[in-house]
Amino acid sequence: MKNAVTALALSVGDPSGIGPEIAIAAFLARQAVGLPAFYLLADPALIAARARHLGVSLPVEEVEPAQAMAVFGRALPIVPLAARSIDSPGRPEPANAAGTVEAIDRAVAACLAGEAVAVVTCPIAKKPLYDAGFRFPGHTEYLAHLAARHSGVEAMPVMMLAGPDLRTVPVTIHIALAEVPKALTAELIVATGRITAADLVRRFGIAAPRLAIAGLNPHAGEGGSMGTEDERIVSPAVDILRAEGIDAVGPLPADTLFHARARAGYDAALCMYHDQALIPAKALAFDEAVNVTLGLPFIRTSPDHGTAFDIAGKGVARPDSLIAALKLARSLADIDAKAVAA
């Protein structure tokens, strides 16, 4: 099966952040952690310079995507970018934006062309991209744009934080907390629930996924005494999901949703805003949680942390979340391939 002999495509992220060094560290730990094969989309000179800076011996080979599996056992396969990168750990450079975007573009194109089984992305920083003229709100929105450009199908990307013991999905994401009640609609909750349930079936292999829907307000509004949004917006959305055959319950008080006994009763928790979803996910598994983008025509995972400019180039960045992202991407790709073949 072609899927079994195709590697993962890893984009380097912001070269001034920890992306290059966690990619290097993950590769060097490949045998100890049983890492699936990947190739890195990056400027080879940057990777060589960062390895020297960190004082590590790193075998590297420039490859085409199809060669990555054969090379991975002996050297880090790098698919070279046309754009060159400035090696400036901890100091963001707008001049590096072209390479950051090119790596994402080519990873997505490779995945859609069957030259990679999934896209894994190292962290990017928005400001250097904005300073260079990037006009998308963030990484996820740009991936949705690329999906539409390549496939002609508009995609609604949904963020999931997936750890060993918890999967959470924020319905609203990068907006101010004060804006959440205005942005939250039953339609948005239903659309997010549909995509989450569908990807849990197809890519996580869960035949009958169970969704727990968190309330927006304390105590899920407590009958309207602590806000009416849960009765007006969240509860009708749960009714619609259930009417469509999705096993959804809620709105549930968020303060009792994430302990071990509660987690045993669902496969993913839909949360109404960013921190409601990300705080429990990161508290339980900061070094192992993975950011998964649902709703795209390709698989995308990434570490659950940012560029960490403050520690870039110091040799202290841990590759754990990237390793988890690579392993999960491979697992999702294999499950997806079986689903397509069935």
> Which tens digits make up the pLDDT trace of 321-332?
999 999 999 999
Q: Which CATH number fits the domain that encloses residue 283?
A: 3.40.718.10
Same domain for 207 and 138, yes or no, is no
Q: Buried b vs exposed e over 53-64: b needs ≥16 C-beta within 10 Å?
A: ebeeeeebbebe
State both tokens at 111.
């995945």
Cross-strand pairs, 8? 38
Q: Are strands 38-42 and 60-62 parallel, antiparallel or unpaired?
A: unpaired
Please say which residue of 270, 291, 312 terminates a domain.
Answer: 291
Where is the domain boundary, 291, 315, 333? 291
Reply yes or no on whether the pLDDT at 229 is more than 60. Answer: yes
Q: Does residue 326 share a domain with residue 284?
A: no
Residue 181 has pLDDT above 90, yes or no: yes
Cis bond upstream, residue 59 (ω within 30)? no
Residues 258 and 313 in one domain: no
Task: Enter the DSSP assignment of 233.
Answer: I
Residue 258: both structure tokens together: 């994430």
Same domain, 42 and 124: yes
Decide if pLDDT at 55 tops 80: yes
Spatial contact of 58 and 48, defined as CB atoms under 8 Å apart:
yes
261 CB-near residues (< 8 Å, 6+ apart): none
> Looking at the structure, do residues 86 and 233 belong to the same domain, yes or no?
no
How many domains are contained in the chain?
2
Which percentage of the chain shows pLDDT scores above 70? Answer: 98
- Strand 290-294 vs strand 158-162: parallel, antiparallel, or unpaired? antiparallel
Residue 4: per-residue pLDDT: 62
Return all residues near 305 (Cβ < 8 A) that are at least 6 apart.
Answer: 123, 321
Confidence of residue 153 (pLDDT cuts 50, 70, 90): confident
| CA atoms of 199 and 290, how far apart (whole Å) | 15
| Enclosing domain of residue 234 | 158-291
In 66-193 the beta strands, taken as DSSP E runs, fall at 76-80, 119-121, 158-162, 167-170
Is the separation of the CB atoms in 20 and 12 below 8 Å?
yes
Q: Quick one: angle between helices 235-243 and 186-202, nearest 10?
A: 40
How many Å apart are CA 162 and CA 274, to the nearest integer? 14
Q: Are residues 234 and 278 in the same domain?
A: yes
Using DSSP, state whether 31 is helix, strand or coil: helix
pLDDT in tens, 259-299: 999 999 999 999 999 999 999 999 999 888 999 999 999 99
Q: Which residues contact 213 (CB under 8 A, 6 or more apart)?
A: 189, 193, 234, 237, 238, 241, 248, 249, 250, 251, 252, 269, 270
Average pLDDT over residues 194-219: 96
CA–CA dist 342, 339 (Å, integer):
5
Spatial separation of the C-alpha atoms in residues 73 and 56, rounded to whole Å: 17
pLDDT at residue 1 in the model: 37
Same domain, yes or no: 237 and 315: no
For residue 18, the model assigns a pLDDT of 96
Q: Are residues 132 and 177 in the same domain?
A: no
The residues, ordered by sequence, that sit 6+ positions from 182 with a Cβ below 8 Å of its Cβ are none
Q: Are residues 84 and 227 in the same domain?
A: no
Task: State what percent of residues in the chain have pLDDT above 90.
Answer: 82
CA dist., res. 313 & res. 309, Å (int)? 9
Please provide the average confidence, as pLDDT, over all residues in the chain.
93
What local confidence, expressed as pLDDT, does residue 231 receive?
96
Specify the amino acid at residue 77: P
Q: Do residues 272 and 171 touch, judged by C-beta distance below 8 A?
A: yes
Strands 8-11 and 158-162: unpaired
Residues 283 and 306 in one domain: no
| 314, 266: one domain | no
Q: What is the pLDDT of residues 30-53, one digit of tens each?
A: 999 999 999 999 999 999 999 999
Q: What pLDDT is attached to residue 3?
A: 65
139 shares its domain with 162:
no
